Structure 1
């Protein structure tokens, strides 16, 4: 057990002092005056010692003292009690004043601290509102980035569809050129006896060669466009990864606002570059489609020219057959021999029968 820090005599003297000050004796008043001990024990000891009666009673004087000495002792004891009461009252008042002063100082400090806490809470509230507003702005920007990403994905799909259509058109154009080549070969065999159409045939051949060269250029352009589309897919995948990382960093926006803003600016620049690349790809695709349209028009013109040449050949053959039918057998044989000898001789031999055929009509 802990040793008793307050003796019974100290408790009794404290009770006497409180009685002298006119205060009620309680365990807490004894505890405040002594500065130690349990209030219940202090009050129990005070009551066991006789309380107020014991405090007011004076010790019996020895029977051997003279009456004068006893009177003087009583007076001295009374004066001592009065002095003790005055001294304890002054000490108690000084203690109360010191406690009040300290209480006022502590109250002022607490009020100042409370004001600081309220100011800090207001500042934190303002910072929280600013962070919330910035978080809302980041979420709106992120939603815009997602919309732009969706639009870019749609443009990529449209570009892929256009590339597929361009491949189909190129394949059709290749088949058309091959068919035109075969038709030109057949026309060349049929028109070997017509030197006048040789120049047109050479023009058609040059057109075919130009179409083949254009087709080769388009194939190279398609390969370049395919590579660019692959690069755009890679950039799109990178942008998707950046968007995913940005979603994760958005949860830490309250503590990393500046970093999120810089990364968002980088993502916007990357998205702008991707949009520019997509626009350039679209422009090259439009150019390629224009070239394909030109090649289709050239192929149609070549087909029309071939039809015109075929019609001229059939008309010449019909005219030759008509002339042979209108001539006598001997002249017809001569005309066939002349036509076999050369186109110029056939032309010269075919002119007189035309003039002689008029009177027969």
Structure 2
């Protein structure tokens, strides 16, 4: 009896020392519909900010009112915090445009970055441009420091001032890029709530929309788009830019067209290019849109994306998923095959910590 008891203790001790043999499950968040993933890493934690597709709302339309957050330290166990900011944090968005109430809809793809202890959330407000919110911690509260759009709506119309991506290079220069069907960028000032107006057109640069830079659209766009002012698209670039750097190479990941969207990438010597098209990262998924989010975490690189895999899901009720992203020796990106299991754990779970 004593021998059996002693053996059981030894077995428990061995099991406790082994890595967790669990795996993530895609989609990551299964209690709500999420889209447009914006991962970032800070002090050993991966923060996943995303947009939020409402369960109910106008049929066959995006119903999006706030932005949500989830975190992980091991890529398997996630803690959800729900909404951390909403359209109501932008008072200037209240004005109705063509019958659309800014407080009611239009909280599209965000991205968040930390600098000098402050957290900056950049988000498009449908039809009104791109705003910026600031908080002292990732959970907020987030407040609007400039009380107006950081990037106003411009020549491209309703959809051009969307999908901001923010990046800080090794020298501390911050960049903000965005756009559909064009690709635009600015150099942010160190305060992160204004930008350098000495370059481009009042500080805004329109990147060359060439096949060499952004790939050939296949099939080509010959019918225009559903934009208020239809515009032909000559490249595979659609929307959802994401800036990332690996070794000495800058990457521009993006959602590519035609619809349904795939994910593609280009590379360049700087965060402003000039870009050279690299190829397809992920083929179209079950939602007609997609949105890349690429981040390094605990020795691995991950591609976040969205699909329509949850029950009741469709192109307007999407779900964020993640898989490992791998590179070839020359820096080119390998095509990602989405998995149901998701990535393997990169840390063990502390059984005494609430998750």
TM-score, structure 2 normalization: 0.17
Which has the higher relative contact order, 1 or 2, with Cα contacts under 8 A spaced 6 or more apart? 2
More strand by share: 2
